[in-house]
Amino acid sequence: MSALLPWLDETAHMYTPLKAIVFITALVPLALGIWDGFHDALGANLVEEITFRSGRWTLRFLLITLAITPLRKCTGWSGVVRLRRMLGLYAFFYACLHFTTWLWLEQFFSWADILEDLGKRRYILVGFGTFLLLLPLALTSTHGMQKRLGGGRWKQLHQLIYLAAGTALLHFFWLTKADYRDPLIYLCVLTSLYILRLPALEPWITRLRSRLKPPTTRG
Amino acid sequence: MLIKNPEQIRASEITPEAIYLDRRRFIQRGIGTALLTAIPASLASAASRYSTTEELTRLKDITRYNNFYEFGTSKGSPGIHAGALSTHPWSITVSGACEHPGNYDLADLIKAAEVEERIYRLRCVEAWSMVIPWQGVPMGKILKRFAPTSKARYVAFRTLLRPAEMPGQRRDILPWPYREGLRMDEAMHPLTLIATGLYGKPLPNQNGAPIRLVVPWKYGFKSIKSIVSIEFTESEPPTTWNLQGPDHYGFYANVNPAVDHPRWSQKKERRIGDIFKRPTLPFNGYAKEVASLYTGMDLRKHY
């Protein structure tokens, strides 16, 4: 329950207004989708539009989740880390919508077609693989699971997100027909987020942070 | 050309969508005989034996869901950007193996009096489909006027190249201008249409104004839009999507549920307006009319 409604979590993190705001904001894409659906604004191919939107929001939330650590390092704002689990779970939430749309509205649970699709088409396979990578991360996202696994192992497991973000983007590249502009933008963002983690950049980031910090001395 | 000479517009071409739908409803119920007298005679007589009686796709969807990369690669882009395209004046260059090559004004090429209605299924290579009431002229009628010679074995078409009004052409997504082609017997087939309108109105820009090809048994990308050039050739002409991905898009591109696109199955399609998919038919349901054009050909090889 605490994973779904994080501000009710009394064990480790207390309610914070910021968490509540982020929780509500992250539901806006879903709310907009439902609104558009009822107002004939999802375009002519409803299923395709739902697939596109849920897929893009999965990728965006993966990138936002991966942006937390660089953001903390660059700004020194450690509180932002408390948002990470919720954001990661939102990536999984939109991934579930995306996956369910494919399974149900696209394939109508026709297992033969699904297996054929997986066997024949690499972008389907890598998309499915991404979902499988995110699944254990979501299942072990609670404090209970974190304790049961132990900090070290839990951390190791959750490094799968680096792989998942990469395969999600590969899925996007491989399904693109001709215009690679959008997947290239996502690639730039993801690469920057990886680069910002390089140990070689630590001194540079420390210097940047000290410059960003407002002067604390008073006259 | 229909806009240029409004007095030439036939009643069938200004019939509102609602009447179209009504007409179809009582024809489908088989009780419309008495009521049909209320409909302009030209419209009643326009029903072609090649037209389908399936439910029409909404005009709104036909005009907001388009693959017309000249105006952007998303389905909504053509509906947003195509308004800037100026289609008057419009002329078409006819060249190659024919006795009457030249530069023809659109109005001289298509006489309003010979325009007829054809309700066709349109199957996109991306596994979606529509049912569209086109207005146009069977292409054979037009091509005959240029008196193609015995050397004319194929017809090649080109779309307008005008990056100033076609923003998609400012990026190298495809090798511009867009090109398509047909074998001569395919081009002369009575199903093959040169369309100038849909739903009784001149073609909306995003649907290929002012003049486009409609080949209902082939994937949609064969039905080239906004045509400015027709050339009779002796050998198979290069075509855009075939150049872009030879193993993905063949020259023939006949609708064929047995040959998958490398990235998706062609067994099923989603009719726009439906949620779930339906089976795709060989030659998009026009096998009876066109299968004989391909006897002896291996359609798995010539996809």
pLDDT in tens, B29-49: 444 333 333 333 344 445 788
List residues of A whose CB lies inside 8 A of any B CB.
40, 43-48, 105-106, 108, 113, 116-117, 120-121, 123, 174-175, 177-179
The answer to whether A47 contacts B263, with C-beta atoms less than 8 Å apart, is no
The answer to whether A121 contacts B276, with C-beta atoms less than 8 Å apart, is no
| B133 in Cβ contact with B198 (< 8 Å) | yes
A12-to-A4, A8, A149 alpha-carbon distances in Å: 15, 10, 17
Q: Give pLDDT, residue A13.
A: 54
The answer to whether B264 contacts A44, with C-beta atoms less than 8 Å apart, is no
Q: What span, in angstroms and rounded, lies between the C-alpha atoms of B279 and B256?
A: 11
Q: Is B29 helix (H, G, I), strand (E, B) or coil?
A: helix
CATH of B6-294, one of 3.30.1020.10, 3.40.50.11540, 3.40.50.10420, 3.90.420.10: 3.90.420.10
Sort out which chain A residues have CB atoms less than 8 A from B264's CB and list them. Answer: 117, 121
Q: Give pLDDT, residue A76.
A: 85
Stronger pLDDT, B16 or A177, i.e. the higher one? A177
- Can you tell me the mean pLDDT for B13-26? 56
3-class SS string, chain A: CCCCCHHHCCCCCCCCHHHHHHHHHCCHHHHHHHHHHHCCCCCCCHHHHHHHHHHHHHHHHHHHHHHHHHHHHHHCCHHHHHHHHHHHHHHHHHHHHHHHHHHHHHCCCCHHHHHHHHHHCHHHHHHHHHHHHHHHHHHCCCHHHHHHHCHHHHHHHHCHHHHHHHHHHHHHHHHCCCCCHHHHHHHHHHHHHHHCCCHHHHHHHHHHHHHHCCCCCCC
Which structure tokens are listed for A138?
């979501």
Portion of chain B with pLDDT greater than 70, in percent = 85
The answer to whether A44 contacts B64, with C-beta atoms less than 8 Å apart, is yes
* Boundaries of every domain in chain B: 6-294
Q: Give pLDDT, residue B92.
A: 97
Confidence band, pLDDT 50/70/90 cuts, at residue B21: low
Is B205 a residue whose pLDDT tops 50?
A: yes
Is B237 a residue whose pLDDT tops 70?
A: yes
Is cis: bond before B177, omega within 30 of 0? yes
Stronger pLDDT, B271 or B8, i.e. the higher one? B271
Which structure tokens are listed for B277?
């998919």
pLDDT 10s digits, B275-287: 999 999 999 999 9
List residues of B whose CB lies inside 8 A of any A CB.
57-58, 60-62, 64-65, 69, 73, 75-76, 128, 171, 173-174, 244, 260, 262-265, 267-268, 270, 272-273, 275-277
- Can you tell me the mean pLDDT for B101-105? 96
Task: Please enumerate in sequence order all residues whose Cβ is within 8 A of that of A26, keeping only pairs 6 or more positions apart, or say none.
Answer: A61, A86, A87, A90
Q: How far is B151 from chain A (nearest CA, A)?
A: 35
The segments of chain A whose pLDDT lies below 70 read: 1-15, 213-219
- Can you tell me the mean pLDDT for B37-65? 76
Sort out which chain B residues have CB atoms less than 8 A from A127's CB and list them. Answer: none
* Boundaries of every domain in chain A: 6-212
Q: Give pLDDT, residue B144.
A: 96
